[in-house]
Structure 1
Amino acid sequence: MHDVIEGLADPSVRDLAWLLFSADLLRAQPPLAPLALCFADADEVRATLDWLAQLDRDPARLHATLAAAPTTRLGRYAENLLGWFLAHGPAARLVAQNVPLRRAGVTLGECDFLVRTRAGERLHWELAVKCYLYAGPGNSERASLAEFVGPNLRDRFDLKLSHLRDHQLRLTTHEAFASLGYGGPWRAQMFVKGWLFYPAGAMASVEDAPELAADHGRGWWVTRSAWPAFAQREAAAGWSVLPRLAWLAPRTLTAEPRGREDSVVAASTAVAPPADPATLIAALVRPHDPVLVAAFEADGAGGYREQSRGFIVPDDWPARAAAFSRQ
């Protein structure tokens, strides 16, 4: 995945490439939750790489589409990117997006994507982009999905997977769907991307939950009081806070400012120039909330590239997170 996005400069194009080529967070969960496959064969992969390179040279239409549907929600931003690819890319084609299901005026759910492959197969994709922190004991026992929690302790990976498998992926088999005119049957697949964050220095000691893909994206988390010593050990060129819409692809910061289109489209994904650890902490807008930061290294051309990412959490967060994982 790193090689795919390395040559791409536009942040939104990099995020789209990350969605398409990054590792899944989960293994397939048969029979109800197989994985979505973006490409039918190597020819579609090659065509997509060429298409992304061309899009990176001229991203104006993508920027216009994103600007027409502004959002502060990471999941919605990811949906907008994937919808663009399915509408304009060289692989599977978009049939419909965000299809609501209602019965007697009650909303039962919403199908994220109805997709038709070039071979004519009908697919129902449910997209989720998640960032969870491991709140387990980190001993020799295997981790469980319940021990992966959202930074603000309002979400848990086991609950998300259950809802995805038992509700969202079944929507196209519901009798209310048959009346919408999309035909069928539709084969449901999960499209789950993101990052999992482990206690700094303890990643290697955590045995993954069996549901997790072995090559999932990984980062670290550290408490506020442990942050100064941790940052000193990391020996980064500088640190930046990652705003929520910059949580997808690893970030790069160029020496030259971006063009006009970025001032419109990517304002909410803009990453400040790297600073030293103390300056970063002093500049936090909400210092008592978990915050995602990235360590940057110099790229040799006057810019920076991300070398790692992780959450700084309040000192009482580990105890609260452990309790939340057991609820």
Structure 2
Amino acid sequence: MLKDVLNDLLNDLRVTAVRDLAWLLLSPDLLRPQPPAGALATPFATPDEFDATVAWLRALDAAPQPLLQHLAAIRMSRVGRYAERLLGWFLEQGPAARLIAAGVQLRRDGITLGECDFLLQTRQGVRLHWELAMKCYLHAGAGRGQLADFVGPNLKDRLDLKRAHLLNHQLPISARDEFASTGYAGSWIPQMFVKGWLFYRHAQTPPECAELDPAHGRGWWVTSSEWLDFARTHASWWRPLPRLEWLAPRRIEQRVEQGIEQQTDADGDRTVVDAETLAGQITLLRGPVTVVALADDAAGDLVERSRGFIVPDDWPEQAQRHARL
């Protein structure tokens, strides 16, 4: 049901930030529940709250200026920070749970022991502690299906390490005795809010992994030397995908009648290109680059068909070493 509703919304919503918020609220989690500590967060506690959230998102798309001003109030370069601002806006303004505090730091003797992402209370009176993560990992396990085989594009992160940090450090923060010193004493139910995409090597069968939600967002990755052969049989038009655009599938409006090179997204500042042009742009590729494949929809706009990473030719070997650390 959630998948169908999300697809319908993404077909209708036009404002990028609202699309991203809808995806954040309704897309599948990356992880299955991790008992006993790793319960999953849900933005709505009842069917009525779910329906109200969908209606609220449609209304926000029609009048998005307050959300856009909220996002523009601080400079953001990290996709995790962008997701925090979106989720915080929903908890402040949306029709479901209400935000009590965000970014609550736990300190002792001048040392920061950790930070709680969100404290909130449902309309039924349940007090929740949410830890948010928005992550993208590439599978580098050569057929294995363990969380350690999913590595960050920059090889500074791994999904198993992120899960361990969530379960063993972030989620227990609100239950520590010292947490009363923050001014938010009491009993909080910890839940993890983990969204994102996992990318698998093109033409290889994705392995099963018991800890992952089977419905998680999926993409592909290819090496730079594989790129042109892959791209020519996959899509006609491509677009680089900056980190702040890693959430919802992209939609690019057709702003002019002629010339694909003049088509831009809603912000008007990024063009789409063919595979050969993109290959020329990444000739000196030093790290993984995220791209989206685009196709025409019924309205004549370009919509995301799939997304993936182009990685340097030596990246797979480095990634496999990182997965085995």
Q: Which residue of 1 aligns with 2:259?
A: none
For residues 216 and 244 of structure 2, the distance between their equivalents in structure 1, rounded to whole angstroms, comes to: 20
Q: Deviations 1:89-128 (Å, cap 9, x if unpaired)?
A: 0001100001011000000111000010000000000000
TM-score, scaled relative to structure 2: 0.93
Q: Does structure 2 retain, via aligned residues, the 8 Å contact 1:281–1:287? A: no
Determine if the alignment matches structure 1 residue 114 to structure 2 residue 119: yes
Alpha-carbon RMSD across the aligned residues, in angstroms, is 1.6
Q: Which residue of 2 aligns with 1:163?
A: 165
Q: Which residue of 2 aligns with 1:261?
A: none
For the structure 1 residues 285 and 183, does the alpha-carbon distance in structure 2 shift closer, same or farther, using more than 3 Å as the test?
A: farther
Determine if the alignment matches structure 1 residue 74 to structure 2 residue 73: no
TM-score, scaled relative to structure 1: 0.92
Q: Does structure 2 retain, via aligned residues, the 8 Å contact 1:148–1:156? A: yes
Determine if the alignment matches structure 1 residue 133 to structure 2 residue 138: yes
Determine if the alignment matches structure 1 residue 45 to structure 2 residue 50: yes
Q: Does structure 2 retain, via aligned residues, the 8 Å contact 1:255–1:301? A: no
For residues 321 and 271 of structure 1, the distance between their equivalents in structure 2, rounded to whole angstroms, comes to: 33
Q: Which residue of 2 aligns with 1:210?
A: 210
Q: Which residue of 1 aligns with 2:261?
A: none
Determine if the alignment matches structure 1 residue 274 to structure 2 residue 279: no
Q: Does structure 2 retain, via aligned residues, the 8 Å contact 1:255–1:303? A: yes
For residues 227 and 285 of structure 1, the distance between their equivalents in structure 2, rounded to whole angstroms, comes to: 11
For residues 52 and 285 of structure 1, the distance between their equivalents in structure 2, rounded to whole angstroms, comes to: 41
* 1:300, distance to aligned residue in structure 2 (A): 3.7
**Which of residues 197, 200, 204 in structure 2 aligns to 1:198?**
200
* 1:273, distance to aligned residue in structure 2 (A): 2.7
After the TM superposition, which parts of structure 1 deviate over 4 Å for at least 4 consecutive aligned residues?
A: none
Q: Does structure 2 retain, via aligned residues, the 8 Å contact 1:293–1:310? A: yes
For residues 271 and 66 of structure 1, the distance between their equivalents in structure 2, rounded to whole angstroms, comes to: 18
**Which of residues 87, 90, 94 in structure 1 aligns to 2:92?**
87
Q: Which residue of 1 aligns with 2:304?
A: 306
Gaps of 5+ in 2: 1-5, 257-264
SS in 2 for 1:159: helix
Gaps of 5+ in 1: 258-265
Percent identity, aligned pairs only? 54
Q: Does structure 1 retain, via aligned residues, the 8 Å contact 2:295–2:304? A: yes
Structure 1 residue identity aligned to 2:305: Q
Structure 1 residue identity aligned to 2:126: E
Q: Which residue of 2 aligns with 1:185?
A: 187
For the structure 1 residues 271 and 168, does the alpha-carbon distance in structure 2 shift closer, same or farther, using more than 3 Å as the test?
A: farther
Aligned residues: 312
Structure 1 residue identity aligned to 2:11: E
Q: Which residue of 1 aligns with 2:219?
A: 219
For residues 75 and 42 of structure 1, the distance between their equivalents in structure 2, rounded to whole angstroms, comes to: 28
Q: Which residue of 2 aligns with 1:324?
A: 322
* 1:299, distance to aligned residue in structure 2 (A): 1.7
Q: Which residue of 1 aligns with 2:262?
A: none
